[in-house]
Amino acid sequence: MRRVHRASPHSQRNSASDDSNRSEASAIPSLTARKKDSLRAISARGFITSIQRTDGSFGCAGTLPRVATKEWPEAVERVTSYLREARAEVRVEEFPEGTPTAKDAARAVGCELGQIVKSLVFDCGGRTVVVLVPGDRRADSEKIALAAGKGFARIAGSDEVRDATGFEPGAVAPFPLPRVEAVFVERTLLSQPVLWVGAGSDRHMAALSPAELLRLSRARPMDVVEQAAYHST
C-alpha cells in the first residue's frame, strides 16, 4: 500500500537545484538499503511512502513493491508530516532494537559515531535553544551561551525538554521545534556525506544530507563542541 503526496505549485525548482538535490540525496539509499521492518521514504520530488516490508527487500522509492502499512507513534508522525510538507529528501527508519544512545544508534544504523546527530536542549538564561552535535563530541556550554547572547547555558531538565520540544528526553528531533528560539549546529557535521537524526522516538531515525538538515532545522552553523572528541554513550 502506498500513499502519494503530490508536489505543490510553490515547490518548483530550476534544473541546477534539482541536480544538486539528487546529488545530495544519492548517498542516502546506499546507507539505508538494509533489511528493516519499517521505513518511510520522503522525497523532495513530491511523494511520501509509508511501508512495513513483509519480505525484507528494498526498492527505489518510485517503484516500491506492495507492502503493509504500519502506524508509528504520534511524535514520529509529527516529524514525518513536517518532512512531507517541507518536501524533504529524507529516509525515516524504525529500529526495533532501539537507539537510546548515540552508540546504540550508530550500531543499529551501521554508520560512524560522528554521523549520528545528538539534539541537545539548553536553557540559556531563559532562552531555549537546541544544539546539534556529533555523536562523538561533547557540547561546550560556554560557546553555546556566547552564541545565545546569554551569560550561561545549562542542559534542560526532562520537563523542560518536553515543554520546549514536544518530544521525550532522548528522542528529540531537530524539527519541528516551534517553541525553541534558536537551533545551533556544529559546523563539522556539515562535512559528512549523510547524517542520522532522531525522528521523535528512541526507535526511529532519519537519514538526510547536511544541506537538508540545515534547511529543515533552520540551524546556524558554528563551533559549539569541546575540542577533544570522546566516546559518547
The domain spanning residue 148 has which CATH number?
Answer: 3.90.960.10
Query: What sections of the chain are H helices per DSSP?
Result: 15-25, 27-32, 74-85, 102-109, 141-148, 158-165, 210-217
Range of the domain at 162: 113-193+209-222
Which pLDDT score is estimated for 188?
Answer: 97
Which pLDDT score is estimated for 133?
Answer: 98
Residue 94 to residue 39: CA distance in whole angstroms:
6
pLDDT in tens, 211-222: 999 999 999 999
pLDDT in tens, 69-90: 468 999 999 999 999 999 999 9
Give a yes or no: residue 180 inside a domain.
yes
Which pLDDT score is estimated for 160?
Answer: 97
Closest CA to 25 of 215, 232, 223, 185: 215
Task: Count Cβ atoms below 10 Å from residue 42 Cβ, excluding itself.
Answer: 24
- The least confident of 66-75, 102-111, 145-154 is 66-75
Task: Count Cβ atoms below 10 Å from residue 28 Cβ, excluding itself.
Answer: 21
State pTM to two decimals.
0.74
Give a yes or no: residue 42 inside a domain.
no
Give a yes or no: residue 181 inside a domain.
yes
Give a yes or no: residue 151 inside a domain.
yes
Give a yes or no: residue 86 inside a domain.
no
Give a yes or no: residue 179 inside a domain.
yes
Give a yes or no: residue 186 inside a domain.
yes
State how many domains the chain has. 1
Residue 223 to residue 13: CA distance in whole angstroms:
32
